Amino acid sequence: MRIGIDVDGVLAARIPAILALIERRHGVSIAREEVTDWSVSVPTTDRDISSYFAETDADPEHIRALDPIDGAVEGMRRLARHHTLLIATYRKPEAAEPTMEWLDSNGIPYDRYVRDVGERKRNVRATVLVDDSPRTVRAFVESGREAILFRQPWNRQEQIPDGIPVADGWADVLEELGL
Ligand SMILES: [Mg+2]
């Protein structure tokens, strides 16, 4: 089976790194659980959380320093024994090389890095997609394919259509995929 794997929020703990950056720069402390949406505004600034994704996509050091999400490394190693793994992220093109270096340095196996995922990841030629974005997951399922929503504080309030499995961590992902 060909499995599409999102990076931020599935493999990489991006929000904690962004929150640490915000604290260093603005002295504002925001807990991960408070990020119920990427449009959450950052106190004392005129910015919201999403703007820091765009900014730090262009910072290879930020990308290379990210922690893997619990269970992601071992989960990907197990999946790789049975399936073809396609890395499918909305990160900007300039983040591609640092992201591949990050995957390698963390020992995360994959078969292909999809450079142009397209709108809602429609160009990702996978039979199933693992992603933390409800909109992306919904669109993937509407295109006749399968998807697993990776649960995070920022998708907890979303109404998920019936029949779309939700994974509370990597153990659930593996179970959904029959491993
Ligand atoms: Mg994501």
Residues lying with their CB under 5 A of ligand 1, a single-atom ion: 6, 8-9, 132
For Cα atoms 157, 163, 165, give the angle at the middle one, nearest 5 degrees: 65
Are 77 and 5 contacting, i.e. CB atoms less than 8 angstroms apart? Answer: no
Contact at 8 Å (CB) between 114 and 88?
yes
Which one of 45, 64, 83 terminates a domain? 64
Per-residue pLDDT of the chain (179 residues), as tens digits, is 999 999 999 999 999 999 999 999 999 999 999 999 889 999 999 999 999 999 999 999 999 999 999 999 999 999 999 999 999 999 999 999 999 999 999 999 999 999 999 999 999 999 999 999 999 999 999 999 999 999 999 999 888 888 899 999 999 999 999 99
Q: What share of the chain is helix, strand, coil (3-state, %, to 5)?
A: 40, 15, 45
Considering the domain architecture, whether residues 127 and 95 belong to the same structural domain is answered as yes
Clarify whether residues 21 and 107 are in a common domain.
Answer: no
Number of domains, the chain: 2
User: What is the C-alpha separation between 26 and 55, in angstroms, rounded?
Assistant: 15
pLDDT given for residue 10 in this prediction: 98
- Judge if 33 and 91 occupy the same domain: no
Co-location of 137 and 117 in the same domain:
yes
Structural domain of 34:
14-64
Beta carbons of 81 and 1 less than 8 angstroms apart: no
Q: Are residues 57 and 110 in the same domain?
A: no
For ligand 1, the distance from its centroid to the CA atom of residue 130, given in whole angstroms, is 9
Q: How far is the CA of 131 from the centre of ligand 1 (A)?
A: 6
Residue 153 sits in the same domain as residue 117: yes
Q: From ligand 1's centre to the CA of 7, what distance in Å?
A: 6
Cα of 63 from ligand 1 centre, angstroms? 14
pLDDT at 159: 83
